[in-house]
Structure 1
Amino acid sequence: MPELVHHDSTALTDEELRSLDAHWRAANYVAVGQIYLMANPLLREPLRPEHIKPRLLGHWGTSPGLNLVYTHLNRVIKARGVDALCVWGPGHGGPAVLAGSWLEGTYSETYPDVARDAAGMGRLFRQFSFPGGVPSHVAPQTPGSIHEGGELGYSLAHAYGAAFDHPGLLVTCVIGDGEAETGPLAASWHSNKFLDPVRDGAVLPVLHLNGYKIANPTVLSRLPEAELDALLRGYGHEPIHVTGDDPATVHRAMAAAFDEALDRIALVQRTAREGGGAERPHWPMIVLRTPKGWTGPAEVDGVPVEGTWRAHQVPLAGVRENPEHLRQLEQWLRSYRPEELFGADGRPAAEVLACVPEGAKRLGATAYANGGLLVRDLPLPALDRFAVPVDKPGTTLHEPTRVLGDLLEQVMKDTSTRRDFRLVGPDETASNRLQAVFDASGKAWQAQTLPVDEHLDRHGRVLEILSEHTCQGWLEGYLLTGRHGLFSCYEAFVHIVDSMVNQHIKWLKTSRELPWRAPIASLNYLLTSHVWRQDHNGFSHQDPGFVDHVLNKSPDVVRVYLPPDANTLLSVADHVLRSRDYVNVVVAGKQPSFDWLTMDQARAHCARGAGIWDWAGSPNTDEPDVVLACAGDVPTLEVLAAAQLLRRHLPDLAVRVVNVVDMTRLMPHEEHPHGMTDAEYDGLFTTDKPVIFAYHGYPWLIHRLAYRRTGHKNLHVRGYKESGTTTTPFDMVVRNDLDRYRLVMDVIDRVPGLAVRAAAVRQEMADARTRHHSWIRAHGTDMPEVADWSWDG
């Protein structure tokens, strides 16, 4: 099994120091050039206003520190031959990471028009934060990146996700001291209690304390070193401190710190892998304190800049208009002595590149940062092995997620050797009825265990921590480095990761436009314990709006599925686990629910995404009087119960039942790849007949998806209306007017001619709702006609 090996560390020689400093100065020069210059990249002539970009965008303050880490990572990778990946937490340090990848040559290999010469340097500078160019943060366009830097807080969780099941990989994670103040990052420190030193790689956090955010000091930078040490040791790390502003001193200290950290990691791994040590290791980390905007202007317009918050973005803002600022910029750029760093042709000098590793070992070239190059098809078993028998619709019940759990158990078993599938969730695997997976893999756990504990396993591949942010970050890092996974979560609380999924969707959308980024396995959510079955949790656990949030995003990337029973859930799960480059949201119940479709029927129905259930509607009717549509397990039950009541009370009424599994089928074909053409939609829902649509979530989503359809004026949607409490299952649907009796009343109200002809039936339905209210308050359970209902069509 690959691991880090001990290296006989020695102090830097003068020659090594010169090389490291040359690389660092070159990276700083290239970073500053990207922020300011659109011409004259090598300062072959005096700097003039027309050489400066008209809009100065970017972040200088964090860049020197990131360049320092890039330089010293190069050194240890080359010296030790280690496979390494770096997650750059201070996301707006884009100039630094772009500089590092350009200097090592991977940027030019990825983008041949940005060659590693003077012309290429000019293009690199001009394109940064420029129309038609690249973003100011670390982004999918950046070789070597797996981390969308547009938002802070997720770097450390991503780093651990990348390290899981990659035993030979070193993942360095640079954490900015502003990012360290976020909740997601704070929880992510506990990831080391889940990292297996035997079968996982190593994570080396580098906490970069430069003192300031945009306009304020940072909390951790103002802690006394002893207090900060106590905090980090409490998180389970052994800090190694590097502090200073003298480049030579910091280079020597940084080299020693990396050597010490990697030697400690090698010892931890060797001890665990050879001796099977049962003690949880305390992993090393580096605390790097350097001035914000280090090596930049010390003072501008009479106020201090270097080492203050003023260095955060663009220290010299008026360069085109202010001759003094222009003079200072030129002095700043020339302070790096570019004539020593780049040849006449603009290529980096040999001394600059002496510390840079070769080939795929380079940070910008590692395949671990382009996970689609590593991903393999997931071995998925035949679904018929797990399908539930359905001799007649609506007469047997199963817990859909429990059935799915049997499938996932087999997937876990079939990946036990290759270790490229993980199930993550916030302490809810068993609660969500997926506990069958524990027969194939326990829950990863490196902390203390007690005799009463169950399913804890030092080598487990089920990840549970009561932090949705951390779960999401782990899984994203895992997927982005070439593996597969599933995130199981209570429906109401997946909103905690709304912002994280935004960033991942943006990453996928941009990655799809980059031919060099290979497709990765999809990010798959299983949302259960859903809004309609919160019998003891109540209103606090009732929110089906994650679907709305996701469907606002890029149609090329997002998919939403609401399988109505166990077999359709199996079919959907098989599909999403095979897919690439999507965010798939699957909403399915964990409580016993009726089985409607055989496995073959489920496959066909899921392939259509939406279809007519002939057996549920009126027999031998091609032209309906009304369409009863449904999406979701509980709405499907209520629609079928309503259809049964209509058959009984209004046998001459022609009823069509339509079930929707794939929510994006409702969108126009022009707006989403799965969307129906107008002809398809009209054929299913008609152009002129009332459509009563029972939907799992907020009803206005259906209107938003279908508002351009011909028959939209005939569409009436029932769904969740924020009326919830701790109550019986049927009372939840009654409270939100989604129940079978209300649906029958809707049909009578909207089908022409029924209001008078079926007035007695409508009154009977209203009386049933009144009787329900009295019954549950007297008995605490649903009425027998509801609780004991089954399909008798």
Structure 2
Amino acid sequence: MSLDTQQALTELTDVELSALDAHWRAANYLTVGQIYLMANPLLTEPLRPEHVKPRLLGHWGTSPGLNLVHTHLNRVVKARGLDALCIWGPGHGGPAVLANSWLEGSYTETYPDVTRDAAGMARLFRQFSFPGGVPSHVAPETPGSVHEGGELGYSLSHAYGAAFDNPGLLVACVIGDGEAETGPLAASWHSNKFLDPVHDGAVLPVLHLNGYKIANPTVLSRLPEAELDDLLRGYGHEPIHVTGDEPAAVHRAMAQAMDTAVDRIAAFQRAAREDGATERPRWPVIVLRTPKGWTGPAEVDGVPVEGTWRAHQVPLAAVRDNPEHLRQLERWLRSYRPEELFDEHGAPRANVLACVPEGTRRLGSTPHANGGLLLRELPLPPLERYAVAVDKPGATLHEPTRVLGDMLQDVMVATADRRDFRLVGPDETASNRLQAVYAASGKAWQAAVLDVDEYLDPHGRVMEILSEHTCQGWLEGYLLTGRHGLFSCYEAFVHIVDSMVNQHIKWLRTTRRLSWRAPVASLNYLLTSHVWRQDHNGFSHQDPGFVDHVLNKSPEVVRVYLPPDANTLLSVADHVLRSRDYVNVVVAGKQPCFDWLSMEEAGVHCARGAGIWQWAGTEDGTRDPDVVLACAGDVPTQEVLAAAQLLRRHLPELVVRVVNVVDIARLLPDDEHPHGMSDFEYDGLFTADKPVVFAYHGYPWLIHRLAYRRTGHPNLHVRGYKEIGTTTTPFDMVVRNDLDRYRLVMDVIDRVPGLAVRAAAVRQHMEDTRHRHHVWIREHGTDLPEVADWTWNG
């Protein structure tokens, strides 16, 4: 359906049109004021250079369109009594959303010093993009927001995440035509194939085509309308067009478009919920075409601005120094007729607020944008129900993630009625051994189903799409609106969301400093199919660097865990699923792994984060250790224990301490990370002067970076992944990267004083075994029998 401005001319009364236009003009005025002014907010005197900020920052180009959408969402929400949330995707549209929040009163309720009068308006203007103020984009400080403006490409997946399991919520999503060119956004259009009209809310995309990015035209704005419609219909949407630059006509068309879209959404939901309809709806999308920088200066210095890329940021850049620019700015501001919009005290007039809903239905006050207010404790079952029996270390093997899958199945069962837990991942749930969850909930799916398909469920809460970006966006939107979840992913490919997790970490760090933001459930990653067991897929699937990336970020937000066996994984999973306001990265294997600790021991060890495994070393309390063998990760742990066993056999007089690290941040000093150790603790664990041979899951330099300030750092030698990989045998992966047990024994001999001569024969035997390994795998295609059949017998 195409609604041009002529078809809808009679839909609004003159009174309604006047009120909508007044609200829109007020929002535009406040937007321009934030970009430019630091005094004289109501223009009660002629504008002078000193009224203008010395440094002009902000983005005008997208703001008039955002204000139009906000105005018309207000109208439809108030008229129909809707619960709504809006995701503001386009770049730095912050002043527009702040303007609307101030108009509706949400901003003043959140920040009482920014009153809804002339003094408060002056504060609103001055603080914008000003030292000690607020950012130029929609940010955590903005009431009603769950999306960082400028997170290019993530808005639509965030919107769907917010809508899942929120059956009464309408999530509008304004998509900029610049961000519409990104890969994450292009993939997220397919989210409608996962939206359950029975249990989920609805997403109303508003594709805002204002024609330009920073300096170039946008692709979608230059497509012929028929071609754009074909694209959107191919994605599963039915477009409704609103096009124009004459305010009254656009208001009428936009009102008609909103009513049409909301009517269709209600009809689809009613058919599914009351009539049992199962056909996937063709959900509406509004295509809004308005000029970039609409209602701003048409020309500046003789060149066109409105409707061009020049309107993207600050159209008049030399206002303090150029008298003509100052005159243009004043004419621009007065064109909105502020005296009609604000009373003599600076408060919005009644006509301006006629379309604004009340209470929590205001877009700046919805609790769905402050999800911690809605969050409930996750009903986690007792871990003992899933714990594997460990009578002695290393006697049995289990697949850790398969054990975790049994626990997650029961979490799915426990949340079946309340529907506030989802498992997301890129087509890897079964591959990652978590398929037990399918017994409790199938895979969300609204497209065609064939006889050969398994576990597809229109009401499922397991989310699988081969787009890590979309998985991340869904889960972020879900968590930020008050629910719980887990993201399971191959370790090598989680890097695809590096920039997205950056933004989420920044968001959480900022919200921790905002008293009005209630804590939300943590973003939890389970990274498996990891580097050391991607021997079959090869080099392209071998990359453990996500941990390095995350540990570069805000220490009060990030946590990284490397549980070495099934019971420690259960303990860590229980902890992270209960936590709030963190990004937790858990790296665990899916292949059979030795069971080292009982459930009770695992709980104590994980709470400690790092500790001595007394049973694995040869300390008897009468001598200090000669060497410390440290490990972090399941495969490094096995190699360290195998090395300890070799040392016990070949060098029985050597006093060996074995230290396992689960919480990698424990290696940091306590003044750099909340989980860090004091120097006293660190030296007690690793010693201040003994050689430490550390087998680490990832890139070895990370351990050096974390521990470089420690007294014993000169004695620290780290083995890890050195970016050497291929398709080979499991043990050959560790040999190629010098992480294997034989290399670790050689490292001990090389670093313990006096062993180089005394243990030369042992060292030679270790080196010979490595050579024999290379010959063996090339002949047999399998690992050496003493490796493949190795067991712990300490």
TM-score range with shorter-chain normalisation?
A: over 0.9
CA contact (8 A) 1:20 1:251 kept: yes
Residues 103, 116 of structure 2: 8 Å contact kept: yes
AA in 2 matched with 1:714: N
1:150 positional shift: 3.5
Residue 565 of structure 1, CA deviation? 0.1
Mapped contact 2:159–2:203 kept (Cα < 8 A): yes
- Name 1:638's counterpart in structure 2: 639
- Asked whether the equivalents of residues 150 and 503 of structure 1 are also in contact (C-alpha less than 8 Å), the reply is no
Task: Tell me the residue number matched to 1:504.
Answer: 504
How do residues 83-98 of structure 1 correspond to structure 2 at under 5 angstroms?
83-98=83-98
Structure-2 residue corresponding to 1:20: 20
Contact 1:207–1:288 under 8 Å retained in 2: yes
Q: What residue is the counterpart of 2:757 in the other structure?
A: 756
Matched, 1:738 2:750: no
Match of 1:470 in 2: 470
- 1:35 Cα deviation from its structure 2 partner: 0.1
1:43 equivalent in alignment to 2:43: yes
More deviation, 529-538/414-423 = 529-538
Cα distance in 2 for residues equivalent to 1:91 and 1:305: 19
- Which residue pairs with 1:396 in the alignment? 396
Mapping 1:311-710, distance limit 5 Å? 311-621=311-621, 622-710=623-711
TM-superposed CA distance for 1:149, in Å, is: 1.4
Gaps in structure 1 of 5+ consecutive residues: 1-8
Between the aligned partners of 1:505 and 1:535, the Cα distance in structure 2 is: 32
C-alpha contact (below 8 Å) 2:683/2:712 kept by paired residues: yes
State yes or no: 1:789 paired with 2:774.
no
Q: Distance in 2 between matches of 1:303 and 1:695?
A: 60
Q: 2:6 corresponds to which residue?
A: none
C-alpha separation in 2, matches of 1:623 and 1:99: 67
Q: Deviations over 1:663-713 (max 9, x none)?
A: 000000000000000000000000000000000000000000000000000
2-structure distance, mates of 1:149, 1:584: 24
SS in 2 for 1:676: coil
The number of equivalent residue pairs is: 786
**Take 2:724 and 2:323, find their aligned partners in 1: how far apart are those partners?**
65
Q: Deviations over 1:39-74 (max 9, x none)?
A: 000000000000000000000000000000000000
| Contact 1:62-1:90 within 8 A present in 2 as well | yes
Give the superposition deviation at 1:535: 2.7
Q: C-alpha distance in 2, partners of 1:175/1:148?
A: 13
1:220-263 Cα deviation digits (max 9, x unpaired): 00001000000000000000000000000000000000000000
CA drift at 1:151: 2.4
Deviation at 1:277, TM superposition (A): 1.2
Q: CA deviation at 1:297?
A: 0.3
Q: Take 1:552 and 1:486, find their aligned partners in 2: how far apart are those partners?
A: 22
Q: Show the counterpart of 1:714.
A: 715
Matched AA of 1:507: W
Who is 1:185 aligned against? Answer: 185
Cα deviation, 1:470-518, whole Å, max 9, x if unaligned, reads 0000000000000000000000000000000000000000000000000
Aligned partner of 1:237 in structure 2 is 237
Paired position in structure 2 for 1:71: 71
Q: Identity, % of aligned pairs?
A: 85
| Aligned residue identity for 2:648 | R
Deviation at 1:11, TM superposition (A): 1.4
Deviation track 1:567-596 (CA, whole Å, cap 9, x = no partner) reads: 000000000000000000000000001000
Equivalence map 1:190-229=2 (5 Å): 190-229=190-229
Q: Does the 8 Å contact 2:342/2:348 carry over to 1?
A: yes
- RMSD (Å), alpha carbons: 0.9
Partner of residue 160, structure 2:
160
Greater than 2 Å deviation, 4+ residue runs: none
Distance 1:46 1:348 in 2: 21
- Give the Å deviation of 1:275: 1.7
Other-structure match for 1:765: 766
* Shift of residue 10, structure 1, vs aligned partner: 8.0
2:780 alignment partner in structure 1: 779
Distance 2:602 2:392 in 1: 14
Equivalent AA in structure 2 for residue 393 of structure 1:
P
- State how far apart, in whole Å, the 2-side matches of 1:626 and 1:219 are: 62
Distance 2:275 2:534 in 1: 47
State the one-letter code of the partner of 2:673.
Answer: H
Aligned residue type for 1:280:
R
Tell me, yes or no, if the aligned pair for 2:138 and 2:149 is still in contact at 8 Å. yes
Distance in 1, Cα, partners of 2:82 & 2:683: 60
Distance between the aligned counterparts of 1:354 and 1:149, measured in 2? 28
1:6 maps to which residue?
Answer: none
Map of 1:5 onto structure 2: none
Displacement after TM superposition at 1:91 (Å): 3.1
Q: Could you tell me how far 1:466 is from its partner in structure 2?
A: 0.2
Contact 2:424 2:471 in 1 (8 A): yes
For the residue of structure 2 that corresponds to 1:508, the secondary structure is helix
Aligned-partner residue type, residue 346 of structure 2:
G
Distance 1:117 1:652, change over 3 A: same
- Give structure 2 stretches of 5+ with no counterpart: 1-8
Q: Normalising to structure 2: TM-score of the pair? A: 0.99
- Measure, in 2, the Cα distance between the counterparts of 1:360 and 1:455: 38
